[in-house]
Amino acid sequence: MTQPDLAVSTVIFALRGTSSENMVLSLPLVRRIRSPFEGTWALPGGPLGDEEDLAQAAGRNLRDTTGLEPRYLEQLYAFGQPDRSPDNRVVSIVYWALVGGDEFAATFDDENVQWFDADDLPTLAFDHALIVEYALWRLRNKLEYSRLAHGFLEPTFTLAQLRKVYEAVLKRRLDPGNFRRTVEASGQVVPTGERLAGTNHRPPQLYRFNTAQGLIDPDPLTIRTALTHPGVAS
Amino acid sequence: MTQPDLAVSTVIFALRGTSSENMVLSLPLVRRIRSPFEGTWALPGGPLGDEEDLAQAAGRNLRDTTGLEPRYLEQLYAFGQPDRSPDNRVVSIVYWALVGGDEFAATFDDENVQWFDADDLPTLAFDHALIVEYALWRLRNKLEYSRLAHGFLEPTFTLAQLRKVYEAVLKRRLDPGNFRRTVEASGQVVPTGERLAGTNHRPPQLYRFNTAQGLIDPDPLTIRTALTHPGVAS
DNA sequence: CAGACTTCGTGTCATCCTGACTTTTACCCC
DNA sequence: GGGGTAAAAGTCAGGATGACACGAAGTCTG
């Protein structure tokens, strides 16, 4: 039996939009510059380094190819169908990541790296369309039951901002009152005591994520290095 | 960068016990016959064949090393810490499987394959203790919200048998009446019309799994659209 | 065959959770 | 000071869940 090639790829999510209104879930793709699928859009990825674990490899490949810094990183699935690459056999261990909405500028100014709306993707290389579909399902599912919009927001935020993140990802309107009730009851979020100024109405309370409370459905290994809060993040 | 070795291993679960009473969650382990960790118990596993996909490799390795036939098989996680093996670097793609409680006889009559209680495991090779712990967490978690005891039972079964499976896995007593109500309402199970004879009391209705209804949280390769799940808050 | 015994299966009720909706509060702007 | 706006709190009905009671349908025993 010949040893297959091993690759580590990542589906990166961010919210693009005009300042917390009309936000769209988006992801960066890279154009392949070699055969097979030369010229086709694909997920960022690369090989596994000798001294890296899988999550480190995912983060490094992500940074190297897009210039982005992940705020949340989690393993998605290992894909290994024999025919998923026409040439060598490749087993891809795929991660998914969240980056902040302000990170678009950080993306390499390169025509070979572009952002696409999650609902309007181009034709993708290999089985990457299936992978993205599954990552989207996982993101929405996790947001539903973990009650945490990991990594999309700044260190402090209002509940309205948090709600709009949920609405953009889930593509569904949420009742502000009920949202407040469930999120506050969950304990995932704590008020900072400060208020957001500069609005033309009653200034809302600012909140931050409750770092004391662990995540639901954790990875078996602690990937919490990338999870430390956006403000303190490496 | 040198290509790491790729292995496919499986955590196999079954319920052992005196005929649906006093059941214990158990798993078979194999004794390693070569270095490293020679003589230590480990998860069954092996290499990936040239023409196999990952799930096929997991099933084949499982059969080859234990003689068991899985009734349910799902990918668990890919483990790739650089130091998880003292010699070559090994990336393990781990599956978890369920086999029926009548399969113990099928296990190879080999002192190098033995069943252990999930609560009373020996020292395991590599990081397999961590892997088993995570697989246990996943099994219990999945049983909680999918309300489906995949693969532990015969094709037809009574609701009391199904409930005892849940009780053994979750290590918690469940109310028979409430269990009946929720399971019947879920539509995961349908009555066959026949009854179980040979009891010393009122003969219970037999049921079978509703194959028409898909699984929750499917693998990406069997993903179905139109999955509905409960919302955060509306 | 009568009655005890066992588990199956159904029913009831209080409580909690959720979604839909209303009301009050606090600020900005003119 | 009044109107506009969104924050924040409150109200209410319906559905799901847990605790528990009770009748139903068999076997077993004297």
Dump pLDDT digits (tens) for A40-69. 999 999 999 999 999 999 999 999 999 999
What's B148-209's CATH class? mainly alpha
CB contact under 8 A, A52 and B82: yes
DSSP strand pairing (B5-18 vs B156-157): unpaired
Nearest to A220 among B89, B134, B220 (CB): B134
CB contact under 8 A, B77 and A175: no
Nearest to A6 among B4, B133, B220 (CB): B4
Q: Give domain limits for chain B.
A: 5-144, 148-209
Strand D: list protein residues with Cβ under 7 Å: A 158-160, 176-178, 180-181, 195, 199-205; B 175, 177-178, 181-182, 185, 199-203
Residue A103 distance to chain B (closest CA, Å): 27
Neighbours of B170 (CB within 10 A): 14
Q: What is the structure's pLDDT at A213? A: 65
Strand C: list protein residues with Cβ under 7 Å: A 175, 177-178, 181-182, 185, 197, 199-203; B 158-160, 176-178, 180-181, 195, 199-205, 230-234
Q: Protein footprint on strand C: which nucleotides are under 7 Å from a CB?
A: 5-12, 18-22, 25-29
Question: Do B32 and B42 touch, CB atoms closer than 8 A?
Answer: yes
CB contact under 8 A, B6 and A4: yes
CB contact under 8 A, B47 and A1: yes
Residues 6 or more apart in contact with residue B207 via CB below 8 angstroms: B156, B157, B158, B159, B162, B189, B190, B191, B192
Question: For residue B90, what pLDDT band results from cuts at 50, 70 and 90?
Answer: very high
Res B230 pLDDT > 60: no
Query: Looking at the domain that runs over B5-144, which CATH code has it been given?
Result: 3.90.79.10
Res A15 pLDDT > 50: yes
DSSP strand pairing (B5-18 vs B90-98): parallel
Chain A residues with CB under 8 Å of B231 CB are: 144, 170, 172, 174
Give the residue, A151 or B173, on which the prediction is more confident: B173
As a whole number, mean pLDDT of residues A150-158 equals 88
Residue A138 distance to chain B (closest CA, Å): 9
Residue B180 distance to chain A (closest CA, Å): 25
Rounded CA–C1' distance between A13 and C24, in angstroms: 39
Question: Do A4 and B48 touch, CB atoms closer than 8 A?
Answer: yes
Residues 6 or more apart in contact with residue B19 via CB below 8 angstroms: none
Give the residue, A225 or B116, on which the prediction is more confident: B116
Rounded CA–C1' distance between A200 and C30, in angstroms: 13
Q: How far apart are CA B135 and CA B129, in angstroms?
A: 10
Percentage of chain B exceeding pLDDT 70:
89
B76-B5-A226-A224 Cα dihedral, nearest 10 degrees: 50
Q: Protein footprint on strand D: which nucleotides are under 7 Å from a CB?
A: 4-11, 17-21, 24-28
Res A226 pLDDT > 70: no
Neighbours of A14 (CB within 10 A): 26
CB contact under 8 A, A141 and B229: yes
Interface of B with A (CB under 8 A): 1-6, 47-54, 57, 75, 77-82, 89, 91, 93, 130-131, 133-134, 141, 217, 219-221, 223, 227, 229-234
Rounded CA–C1' distance between A177 and D12, in angstroms: 14
Dump pLDDT digits (tens) for A188-206. 899 998 888 777 888 999 9
Dump pLDDT digits (tens) for B124-181. 999 999 999 999 999 998 888 777 787 899 889 999 999 999 999 999 999 999 999 9
Res A233 pLDDT > 60: no
Neighbours of A3 (CB within 10 A): 13
Res B225 pLDDT > 50: no
Chain A residues with CB under 8 Å of B232 CB are: 143-144, 147, 166, 170, 174, 179, 182
Cα distances (Å, whole numbers) of residue B234 to A29, A172, A181, A182, B76:
33, 8, 11, 10, 32
CB contact under 8 A, A93 and B89: no
Neighbours of A162 (CB within 10 A): 23
Q: Taking the complete model, does pTM exceed 0.95, yes or no?
A: no
Residue written as token pair 């009309």 = A22
